[in-house]
């Protein structure tokens, strides 16, 4: 599957992030809880050196709860603070500021010991497309209306808003590029909607997703498409797309199944969590 992410685009976004990173004391990395490996930028550690970091496992409302907890523990074991959140409903967001403060406490204490009273900290959001960066910023900025301008001497054009006492956030997120290391990563990004559909073969993608769903057999997938009478283990995914299209009455003239429409529907329903809470990637141990 070809994924369009031009090197030129990547260089431009990287430069912008490097510039913004100089302005902040900590970084908040948002990833998709359904694909914590594929939705992480491969160069994140190199980009953020020596800065406290918080990982937000977003969309936890549509990820498997147990898997998300395994990921939180996994990050913790690797010395990274992680928090599951659902930016759509706001679940988990209340724990964000206390966790961030904890990561910043060493720096704050250091500055205080040097005589600074109430040192103010600045943070920025980073993440690959579609992980929920804007949703998070909207949610947290609505709760905290006060917007402050740039400090003198700092790049013009940046808007900061106060998220808590002496804690400010940059209102534009850093858009990172995903990794394109292997076919599985590309597919997982595409299944979850991180990659635009118009650059992919939508039918092929849906067939690949059905391959996975056939293995996982989520009960809600089976009941939504009334597949109780289908022997999933012995049905080709290509055929399964036809069966699903027919069951939903997606036919074109001549009685043939409209495969493209059926493919779009399968992908849409998966992306919006209609087949239940499904995590595609688990920690190794």
Residues interacting with ligand G4P, by CB under 6 A? 58-59, 61-62, 86-88, 127, 129-135, 273
Least distance in angstroms from the C-beta of 88 to ligand G4P: 4
Shortest separation between residue 274's beta carbon and ligand G4P, angstroms: 11
C-beta closer to ligand G4P: residue 55 or 131: 131
Tokens of 227: 């597949």
Burial zone of 241 (CB within 10 Å; 0-12 exposed, 13-18 middle, 19+ buried): buried
Write down the H helix ranges in the chain: 7-21, 44-47, 65-77, 96-113, 133-143, 183-191, 202-216, 219-224, 237-247, 259-271
Nearer to ligand G4P, 62 or 210 (CB): 62
In this complex, which beta carbon is closest to ligand G4P, that of residue 58 or of residue 103?
58
**Residue number, nearest CB to ligand G4P:** 132
In whole angstroms, the minimum distance from the beta carbon of 93 to ligand G4P comes to 10
Residue closer to ligand G4P by CB (options 87, 240) is: 87
Nearest approach in angstroms of CB 193 to ligand G4P is 7
CA distance 224 to 235: 18
Contacts of 205 (CB under 8 A, 6+ apart): 1, 187, 190, 191, 197, 263, 267
Nearest distance in Å: CB 41, ligand G4P:
12
For ligand G4P, which is the closer residue by CB, 224 or 274? Answer: 274
Q: Which is nearer to ligand G4P, 134 or 223 (CB)?
A: 134
Burial readout 253-279 (b: 16 or more C-beta within 10 A, e: otherwise): eeeebbbeebbbbbbebbbeeebebbb
Nearest distance, CB of residue 177 and ligand G4P, angstroms: 13
Instruction: Please state, in angstroms and rounded to a whole number, the distance separating the CA atoms of residues 70 and 114.
Output: 39
């Amino acid at each position: 599957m070809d994924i369009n992410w031009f090197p030129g685009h990547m260089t431009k976004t990287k430069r912008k992030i490097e510039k913004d990173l100089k302005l902040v004391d900590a970084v908040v990395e948002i990833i998709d809880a359904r694909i914590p490996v594929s939705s992480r930028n491969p160069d994140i550690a190199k980009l953020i050196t020596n800065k406290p970091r918080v990982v937000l496992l977003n969309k936890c409302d549509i990820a498997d709860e147990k898997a998300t907890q395994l990921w939180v523990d996994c990050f913790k074991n690797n010395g990274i603070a992680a928090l599951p959140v659902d930016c759509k409903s706001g679940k988990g967001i209340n724990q964000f500021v206390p966790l961030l403060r904890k990561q910043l406490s060493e720096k704050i204490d250091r500055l205080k010991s040097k005589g600074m009273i109430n040192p103010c900290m600045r943070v920025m959001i980073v993440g690959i497309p579609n992980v929920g960066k804007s949703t998070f910023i909207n949610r947290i900025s609505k709760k905290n209306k006060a917007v402050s301008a740039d400090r003198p001497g700092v790049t013009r054009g940046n808007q900061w808003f106060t998220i808590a006492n002496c804690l400010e956030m940059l209102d534009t997120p850093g858009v990172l590029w995903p990794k394109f290391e292997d076919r599985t990563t590309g597919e997982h990004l595409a299944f979850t909607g991180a990659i635009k559909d118009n650059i992919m073969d939508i039918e092929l993608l849906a067939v690949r997703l059905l391959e996975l769903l056939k293995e996982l057999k989520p009960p809600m997938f089976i009941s939504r498409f009334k597949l109780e009478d289908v022997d999933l283990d012995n049905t080709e995914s290509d055929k399964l797309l036809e069966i699903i299209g027919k069951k939903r009455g997606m036919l074109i003239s001549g009685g043939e199944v409209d495969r493209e429409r059926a493919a779009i529907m399968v992908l849409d329903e998966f992306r919006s969590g209609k087949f239940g809470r499904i995590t595609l990637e688990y920690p190794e141990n």
